[in-house]
């Protein structure tokens, strides 16, 4: 029997797709840059079916590329000639334990569905970003996604208590559980998170939930400089006991492009400013969220008082504090349109870098200086999770020249390396950053990664050619 003849009865009617029309949703990623021609698309509905599919592929040496919501930006789900293993039918929210503040979910659960399910228990799953309406749990675990609330809650890896994964030979590894401490040998859970399906296919996970903030204080702030913005961050962290949930940087170039690209968009201030910050504080303590006699919220008053003091000091130039949920959502919509805003520019070189917080300003200035040396007519645009030093820097060269694009990418890597940063912060490696991995990752670390890959996947069938340079 051929592989497809073996898989068809394992999966049942309609769950093995071979017609190009049927496979169309799985052959092109969100960016449109990575288009593949897979052998077929398998859509298992259980971990047992995933196990059977992978075991059959292991026996025939067929590459398997796991796919969740297809919202990645680096080609991690491209499957030329291999079998696409879609996890979209593993979509059960198995359990929400409000007492333990945990949720056990399958890999195909859309992130926003988990948000809604947690909200029914007055809890939150704090991981959030613009693609939450289509991104799936398996994908965010496989890339160790970040998002806007890393500052308070950590990356995806910090939110996972246990998981279940199918290994390269089809065996199921059970690392499930709700323990906050488990020191029983190597941390295989963390090894699988962020591996982009190259070491095992995550099919379910138990994640942490948190109390939903009773109130938010959200504002757009025009800071005098990036160092001044960091002063605001530190003051609010100190005043609130670390309750700043998001601290997002949008420079003037981003605001201008947002106004040009997004229909109906409005400027955050009456006059443009160079450094625009979205700050949000989440209050969980009743003392911070119980309205005062005048109807105001203490957490909002604290933010307003801090901003007023910094205006007196010349560190803040302007500020608008959200007074309604609609105003808050408008502020967030401005930031969450980043992918649409940046990808509207052609050609472009998109990067996703991590820096120490004080080095963000130096990076922005130096990258722009070196960009103009390479291409005097180029422009750039950026947004940043400033609270954790993650900058999404996009250079826009004046011509679609592969040599120039490669030179710009290496230039950004040079600036990041000079500042002891990382060329990859939260989007994963996939295909697009393999060159960066080869050039910039410590060679001993690369050898260790290759050794682990060879040990866990000796036939190199799990998402081959991604993440770890050959």
Q: Examine the domain organization and report whether 219 and 331 are in the same domain.
A: yes
Q: Examine the domain organization and report whether 98 and 201 are in the same domain.
A: yes
- Does residue 461 lie in a domain region? no
Number of domains forming the structure of the chain:
4
Give 5-63 pLDDT, tens digit per residue.
Answer: 999 999 999 999 999 999 999 998 877 888 889 999 999 999 999 999 999 999 999 99
Cα–Cα distance, 130 to 332 (Å, whole number) = 9
Cα–Cα distance, 85 to 160 (Å, whole number) = 23
Q: Which of the listed residues 405, 425, 445 is the one where a domain comes to its end? A: 425
Residues in the chain: 470
Q: Examine the domain organization and report whether 128 and 14 are in the same domain.
A: no
Q: Examine the domain organization and report whether 231 and 334 are in the same domain.
A: yes
Cα–Cα distance, 236 to 379 (Å, whole number) = 33
**pLDDT at 94 > cutoff 90:** yes
Q: Which of the listed residues 86, 117, 150 is the one where a domain comes to its end? A: 86
Residue 126 near residue 152, CB atoms below 8 Å: yes
Q: Which of the listed residues 310, 338, 366 is the one where a domain comes to its end? A: 338
pLDDT at 77: 86
Cα–Cα distance, 438 to 418 (Å, whole number) = 17
Q: Examine the domain organization and report whether 384 and 316 are in the same domain.
A: no
pLDDT at 238: 95
Q: What is the DSSP letter of 144?
A: T
Residue 188 belongs to domain with CATH number:
3.30.465.10
Give 368-387 pLDDT, tens digit per residue.
Answer: 999 999 999 999 999 999 99
Q: Using pLDDT thresholds of 50, 70 and 90, give the confidence band for residue 429.
A: very high
- Does residue 292 lie in a domain region? yes
- Does residue 466 lie in a domain region? no
Give 383-426 pLDDT, tens digit per residue.
Answer: 999 999 999 999 999 999 999 999 999 999 999 999 999 999 99
Residue 417 belongs to domain with CATH number:
3.30.70.2740
Tell me the average pLDDT across 170-192.
Answer: 95
DSSP string, 111-143: HHHHHHHHHTTTEE-----TTTTT-BHHHHHHH
The alpha helices in 12-106, defined as continuous H runs, are: 20-27, 47-60
Domain span at residue 138 reads: 93-211
**pLDDT at 1 > cutoff 80:** no
């Amino acid at each position: 029997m051929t592989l497809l003849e073996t898989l068809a009865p394992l999966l049942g009617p309609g769950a093995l797709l071979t017609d190009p029309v049927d496979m169309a949703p799985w052959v092109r990623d969100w960016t449109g840059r990575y288009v593949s021609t897979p052998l077929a698309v398998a859509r298992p509905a259980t971990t047992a079916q995933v196990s059977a599919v992978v075991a059959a592929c292991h026996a025939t040496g067929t590459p398997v590329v796991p796919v969740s919501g297809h919202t990645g930006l680096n080609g991690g789900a491209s499957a030329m000639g291999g079998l696409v293993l879609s996890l979209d039918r593993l979509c059960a929210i198995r359990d929400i334990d409000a007492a333990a503040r945990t949720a056990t979910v399958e890999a195909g659960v859309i992130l926003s569905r988990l948000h809604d399910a947690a909200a029914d228990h007055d809890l939150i799953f704090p991981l959030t970003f613009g693609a939450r309406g289509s991104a799936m749990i398996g994908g965010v675990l496989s890339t160790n996604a970040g998002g806007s609330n890393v500052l308070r809650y950590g990356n995806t890896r910090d939110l996972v208590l246990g998981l279940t994964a199918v290994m390269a030979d089809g065996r199921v590894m059970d690392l499930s559980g709700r323990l906050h401490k488990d020191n029983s040998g190597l941390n295989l859970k963390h090894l699988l998170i962020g591996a982009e399906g190259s070491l095992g296919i995550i099919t379910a996970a138990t994640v942490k939930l948190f109390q939903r903030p009773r109130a938010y204080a959200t504002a757009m702030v025009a800071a005098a400089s990036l160092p001044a913005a960091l002063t605001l961050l530190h003051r609010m962290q100190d005043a609130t006991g670390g309750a700043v949930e998001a601290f997002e940087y949008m420079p003037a170039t981003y605001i201008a492009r947002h106004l040009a690209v997004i229909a109906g968009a409005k400027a955050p201030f009456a006059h443009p400013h160079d450094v625009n910050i979205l700050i949000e504080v989440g209050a969980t303590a009743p003392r911070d969220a119980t309205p005062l006699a005048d109807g105001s919220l203490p957490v909002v008053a604290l933010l307003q008082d801090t901003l007023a003091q910094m205006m007196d000091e010349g560190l803040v130039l302007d500020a608008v504090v959200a007074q309604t949920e609609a105003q808050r959502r408008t502020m967030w919509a401005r930031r969450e349109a980043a992918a649409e805003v940046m990808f509207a520019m052609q050609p472009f070189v998109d990067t996703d870098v991590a820096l120490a917080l004080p080095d963000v300003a130096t990076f922005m200035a130096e990258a722009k200086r070196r960009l103009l040396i390479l291409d005097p007519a180029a422009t750039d645009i950026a947004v940043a999770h400033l609270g954790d030093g993650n900058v999404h820097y996009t250079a826009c060269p004046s011509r679609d020249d592969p040599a120039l694009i490669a030179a710009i990418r290496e230039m950004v890597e040079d600036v990041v390396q000079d500042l002891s940063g990382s060329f990859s912060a939260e989007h994963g490696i996939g295909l697009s950053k393999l060159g960066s991995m080869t050039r910039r990752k410590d060679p001993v670390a690369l050898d260790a990664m290759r050794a682990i890959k060879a040990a866990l996947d000796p036939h190199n069938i799990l998402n081959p050619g991604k993440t770890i340079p050959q």
